[in-house]
Structure 1
């Protein structure tokens, strides 16, 4: 009989209650300051991170190998036979390859590592969809065959006041050429089919960028039923206003407000607001 573990990394930005609900095991990224280091979601919160950003922009690094090894060893001890591991885009992080190399040391566990080709809460949405399949007693092979379809139906978009955090983290990539901060142009960032961040759209000023997010959302929900998550990175009032503004659309089957985690916040900074859209079928 199969006993399937579900694992993701802390870029997923899932709440503790959601992790518990779906029995999701989480590998924490490291958040590194000049004189101290934290494990994301273990001993640093997003609020603590936002406060610390006033003095220093840290870096992020791969999940701790010792922590990850113990997690997998515990799964084997608990008689798990299979594991589905969902990671942040391999073109944004080395997490995918790191976990792949680690799992090779545990041949007693049959595993599938899936590159979500996205970043932040969309990783979490894909993970919860897999969690639903596990809870409904689908087998390992069936779930693995569903992963790409789930990925293609999951979309993420974020906007933020400044590019300085994206620049500091080396994630600026294809966004740079499309944005001129001197013109007060604000990017709406997404991930492309290869998992690279890019400028999906841009707007002049903060209000217009949030309006653009709303228009992007309606481009999906006007066509089909969707589960929607509004993402909040120290932008409480604006995130709540966006949720209240769209929540009554008849094709939104479920809507919630979630906090952007510390690992993601390192690269987006305070004032980040976003959307995760899952197209239901």
Structure 2
């Protein structure tokens, strides 16, 4: 009988309550500065990052193989037979590819690794949605097909206050960083479906228009898929008040959503996004 584990990385920003409720296992991204290494969400938090990121040179790297192999051994001991791994977009990270290579050397479990082409709660809602289908008794092969659908039919959008961190981390072009910081135009970031890289589908002038633009972007996808079931996800980085307002707007504008999850941006993504982020994702669900 199949017993299927779902693994993701800490850039999914899945809250502890969702991890426990849906039996989702999270590998911590590594964060390095001052010659030391820390595990996202274990040894270091986003608050720690905010306090040092203007003075320190901070780098991130994929979860270490030891953590993955230890987790796989634990899963095997608990009776799991299969694993589906959902990881940060390959357009900004090599985590998924590295996990794929590690899993190829582990023969005790049958593993399938998915490139989410997303991040933060965009990735988190994929993992939660897949876990819900697993609860319905879907087989490993069925869940693989569903996982691929979820990743392709997932659209996440994020507005941030300071693009310099993304620029220094090599995640966005210099021109976009100059545009946002110099002209006070706030870009809305998302992920290209072709390669999972960050791009700018929209811009607004000033913070007050951000929430409305995020709502409009979600609505544009619903206009293209008017009869499809969907879930929503919402994220913030040290911006709880605005996040709560945005959540109320989402629920009022799209009351037909199947479910909604929320999350706070963790330490690893905070290295590139800073504080002040607002994000939203729509996840279309297979029938």
**TM > 0.5 fold call:** yes
1:151 is displaced (CA, Å) by: 1.5
Name 1:141's counterpart in structure 2.
141
- State whether residues 163 and 177 of structure 2, in contact with CA within 8 Å, keep that contact through their aligned partners in structure 1: no
Matches of 1:66 and 1:247, distance apart in 2: 42
Give matches, 1:113-262, under 5 Å.
Answer: 113-173=113-173, 176=176, 179-193=179-193, 194-221=195-222, 223-224=226-227, 225-249=229-253, 250-262=255-267
- State whether residues 159 and 188 of structure 1, in contact with CA within 8 Å, keep that contact through their aligned partners in structure 2: yes
Name 1:59's counterpart in structure 2.
59
Matched residue SS, 1:86:
strand
Matched residue SS, 1:207:
helix
Matches of 2:58 and 2:88, distance apart in 1: 19
| Unaligned runs of at least 5 residues, structure 1 | none
TM value normalised by structure 2: 0.90
Matches of 1:20 and 1:152, distance apart in 2: 26
1:232 is displaced (CA, Å) by: 0.8
The superposition leaves residues 141-170 of structure 1 with CA deviations (integer Å, 9 ceiling, x where unpaired) of 111122221122211000011111101211
Give matches, 1:70-149, under 5 Å.
Answer: 70-149=70-149
Name 1:265's counterpart in structure 2.
270
Matches of 1:4 and 1:200, distance apart in 2: 36
Matches of 2:118 and 2:158, distance apart in 1: 12
- State whether residues 238 and 276 of structure 2, in contact with CA within 8 Å, keep that contact through their aligned partners in structure 1: yes
Cα distance change, pair 278–74 in 1 and its aligned pair in 2 (3 A): same
Matched residue SS, 2:89:
coil
Matched residue SS, 2:252:
coil
- State whether residues 5 and 24 of structure 2, in contact with CA within 8 Å, keep that contact through their aligned partners in structure 1: yes
Matches of 2:240 and 2:180, distance apart in 1: 26
1:277 is displaced (CA, Å) by: 1.2
Aligned length: 281
Matches of 1:152 and 1:178, distance apart in 2: 31
Matches of 1:174 and 1:96, distance apart in 2: 26
